[in-house]
Structure 1
């Protein structure tokens, strides 16, 4: 029998480093929790505070490099009800342990783009052959190394809107499939688990269906690593409070993707027209309703207010945050989502056979019908076999702080008191919880709603060495009775 001390210590370690999410895998056209076998429907937000300019390799900064900022934003995103964020530009040479661990602790997955807007760090859509080289692969493999060990790394985007018109759809598709193959080969060789790889497409209706068909088909009818594991769509067709399922063209999208063999979701959505009017987010009811179960949810563009005017929150110059009415409206709709419906996995979805790649799948004469995928560039085989030099491998760490240190204000201007993350137990994924975050921001109110009010502001959610040991000893004594 194990000693009381050893049992107590083991429970303490488990409590201190418990994971809040299970790894997810693709099964047919759904994302599925590998432990619970429940479907993961993406309820998410695109996350790039500071926009593209926040990515600065010289300063070693990106959206996931500042733990205090991530703590603040994770607290708000947890209350909002999201389970996934998309992060566009990350530096593979920067440590992301603190931010990844914070989001993990609150049950939020991360979809990571492997590219960046800087030269040499993405495919050049005007000349993809010139940018597909060993140096580029070292960069994207570095992103894999950096994020592969976080259980809440849901997936990698191999490209974003590389084809944005008919002209760019001629040469680029084969190179994107080559990048997907290289990423998947590297993951298979150097990761302990499979991590899905896919593409995020622009909603250009002239080429959209061809793009989806091109990336989901299998070459020669066999297991094909160049094929996308999932398909993201950046769509802004639902505009204004008066839009409907039909006028927004969602019915057309459902008809298009009805026989998809891979997960399809909105990698960006949330039209901001008419300008200056808070978004109603009425499309949420449709996206997570019975009519659109073929889709795997979506990511609202975007968390923070940038020049493009899509923000759910405003990040002030002193790092405080003010919620916009958009945040309130989105939260209200998330709270109405039928969680049982969106978590129900469809066994028949795993039996959809992908089509075999052929020119017959492509309808636009200007779109590539070339399914001869470029071979890896010189030096790539060695990188895949032996790994990149001196990779920075991320690992989860203990989340020591839970209380948000800076002020956060509701859309009514009043401060939200006692804001903190609430680490989840039992490996849970975050879900909408009926919160009204701005409604909690009352000058005379004690603070937050009962479900998230901390018992002690400085210690909420913490498992310190002393408290962890006490809990472990108590548990051990109970077990011995």
Structure 2
């Protein structure tokens, strides 16, 4: 018979394993930890292994394969990532293991609610026809699937729906309508407030108008559920090590968003023309000149035909670290993490402007702030909830060591790759320890195993551009330390499998 002390020790270990990250909240132009109130700045990666073409094929989504998530979470934890963005998720799948793995390593999630098939996203060419009850039920189901995870940072209501002046006419009211409906559903059925926002294309002719339209207050008082809680920008304007804060136009972005009343961040960045990428923009993005912005997400984790990947993955579960991973890690190490945690002194008592036509500068952009009413049946759906909705919860993470072969840029197999349980957001340098590589091996991951698929931006998104990226290895660049070959990275006591 178990003694009381044994039972209490067992219960304590279990509790330690399922201890979750603190939810992130929006406070004016910043994200912050809901418990510590420290500022939260996104150090992230866009994560969509398999690409949008994998949706609905039965091959799963980015957060449905625990073995894959364990491998990738371990590599992201070493890199210093604290946020991932997933463009296409299937709410009918079980995400508990993957989400719990990412939670355990200090990584939050931004989830796009749309899907890359007709009827499950807003059609930028005819938004009114695609704003339907069945569409809204789908995105509400995504909310149901992810609402209970504490590391769900927020939901993207749309991605690059507006990509020129013409699409800036009919679409803006529908983007606000979708945001309103999502936020009303969250308020009715989620255990906490979860931010909802939009990811914009970096088309300068409509960028400022898109942000101004979405962040303004369209009601009496502060409870306007149709306005964005945050604003993401897919920007590839900093290209190569000959660029700069001014050449890239980052200075213009800072000026544009200087008086923002919601968090603004780069939801995609990482130009790959020229190659290899230098990621010099990292120092600027997380430096003192850009404290108005809340960080960004590098496009993208998984290699595909567009050559934006940091890691090449294969269908047999193996992975090859690419040169861009090593370069990004070296740039992340230069970030002053203490600077990021400090609140922006200008972000105090900020009130959004009242919506009116004077906020819009382009004659072709919408000045119509009459937001469409929900389609028939949606009000009842919000009240009653999605029937038979999926539910998710943080579970105990019992696997910590990565069994799949992972190869460094020098061709040697990485040893000692494992996740390390943490209780706060991950950051560069926080958990780098104990990994080493052997000599270059002929048994490195081979393309003959077949790639795991391609990666792509979400529904309604313009495809990213850029010349082919280099996968050129820098010899030994992933060698983190010596003397630990073949040994697992130490895991905290609370992370032990029971």
* Structure-2-length-normalised TM-score: 0.87
From the two aligned structures, give the one with the greater helix fraction.
1
Determine the C-alpha separation between the residues in 2 that align with 1:455 and 1:12.
Answer: 26
Secondary structure of 2:67's match? helix
**Aligned residue number for residue 17 of structure 1:** 18
Determine the C-alpha separation between the residues in 2 that align with 1:421 and 1:439.
Answer: 11
**Aligned residue number for residue 175 of structure 2:** 176
Rate the CA distance shift 1:60–1:327 in 2: closer, same or farther, 3 A. closer
2:435 and 2:489 in contact (8 A); partners too? no
**Aligned residue number for residue 429 of structure 1:** 425
Secondary structure of 2:205's match? coil
Q: CA deviation at 1:228?
A: 0.1
Q: CA deviation at 1:278?
A: 1.3
Taking the TM superposition and a 5 Å limit, the aligned residue runs for 1:253-264 are 253-264=253-264
Rate the CA distance shift 1:367–1:159 in 2: closer, same or farther, 3 A. same
Taking the TM superposition and a 5 Å limit, the aligned residue runs for 1:216-235 are 216-222=215-221, 223-235=223-235
Give yes or no for the alignment of 1:300 onto 2:298: yes
Q: CA deviation at 1:128?
A: 0.6
Q: CA deviation at 1:452?
A: 12
**Aligned residue number for residue 472 of structure 1:** none
2:415 and 2:435 in contact (8 A); partners too? no
Rate the CA distance shift 1:462–1:100 in 2: closer, same or farther, 3 A. farther
Aligned pair partner of 1:380 in 378, 397, 407: 378
Q: CA deviation at 1:50?
A: 1.7
**Aligned residue number for residue 311 of structure 2:** 313
Of the structure 1 ranges 43-52 and 344-353, higher mean CA displacement relative to structure 2 is found in 344-353
Rate the CA distance shift 1:450–1:422 in 2: closer, same or farther, 3 A. farther
Secondary structure of 1:139's match? helix
**Aligned residue number for residue 92 of structure 1:** 91
**Aligned residue number for residue 393 of structure 2:** 395
Q: CA deviation at 1:51?
A: 1.3
Q: CA deviation at 1:442?
A: 3.4
Taking the TM superposition and a 5 Å limit, the aligned residue runs for 1:32-111 are 32-56=32-56, 58-59=57-58, 61-111=60-110
**Aligned residue number for residue 194 of structure 2:** 195
1:55 and 1:63 in contact (8 A); partners too? no
Determine the C-alpha separation between the residues in 2 that align with 1:32 and 1:235.
Answer: 24
Secondary structure of 1:207's match? helix
**Aligned residue number for residue 370 of structure 1:** 368
Determine the C-alpha separation between the residues in 2 that align with 1:396 and 1:147.
Answer: 11
Rate the CA distance shift 1:245–1:348 in 2: closer, same or farther, 3 A. closer
Q: Deviations over 1:348-392 (max 9, x none)?
A: 414111111000010111101000000011010011001011000
Q: CA deviation at 1:437?
A: 9.3
Taking the TM superposition and a 5 Å limit, the aligned residue runs for 1:96-245 are 96-222=95-221, 223-245=223-245
1:323 and 1:438 in contact (8 A); partners too? no
Name stretches of at least 5 consecutive residues in structure 1 with no aligned partner. 469-481
Secondary structure of 2:320's match? strand
**Aligned residue number for residue 442 of structure 1:** 438
Secondary structure of 2:178's match? helix
**Aligned residue number for residue 355 of structure 1:** 353
Secondary structure of 1:199's match? strand
Q: Deviations over 1:237-286 (max 9, x none)?
A: 00011100000000000000000000000000000102xx2100000000
Secondary structure of 1:367's match? coil
Name stretches of at least 5 consecutive residues in structure 2 with no aligned partner. 441-475
Q: Deviations over 1:139-174 (max 9, x none)?
A: 000000000111100000000000011111100000
Q: CA deviation at 1:396?
A: 0.8
Rate the CA distance shift 1:241–1:345 in 2: closer, same or farther, 3 A. same
Determine the C-alpha separation between the residues in 1 that align with 2:430 and 2:410.
Answer: 19
1:417 and 1:441 in contact (8 A); partners too? yes
Secondary structure of 1:268's match? strand
Determine the C-alpha separation between the residues in 2 that align with 1:462 and 1:359.
Answer: 58
2:131 and 2:375 in contact (8 A); partners too? yes
Q: CA deviation at 1:137?
A: 0.6
**Aligned residue number for residue 418 of structure 2:** 420
Determine the C-alpha separation between the residues in 2 that align with 1:353 and 1:451.
Answer: 53
Rate the CA distance shift 1:302–1:348 in 2: closer, same or farther, 3 A. same
Determine the C-alpha separation between the residues in 1 that align with 2:492 and 2:135.
Answer: 41
RMSD: 2.4
1:114 and 1:156 in contact (8 A); partners too? yes
Determine the C-alpha separation between the residues in 2 that align with 1:129 and 1:173.
Answer: 11
Aligned pair partner of 1:325 in 323, 330, 334: 323
Determine the C-alpha separation between the residues in 2 that align with 1:365 and 1:336.
Answer: 43
**Aligned residue number for residue 30 of structure 1:** 30
1:412 and 1:438 in contact (8 A); partners too? no
**Aligned residue number for residue 471 of structure 2:** none
Q: CA deviation at 1:317?
A: 4.0
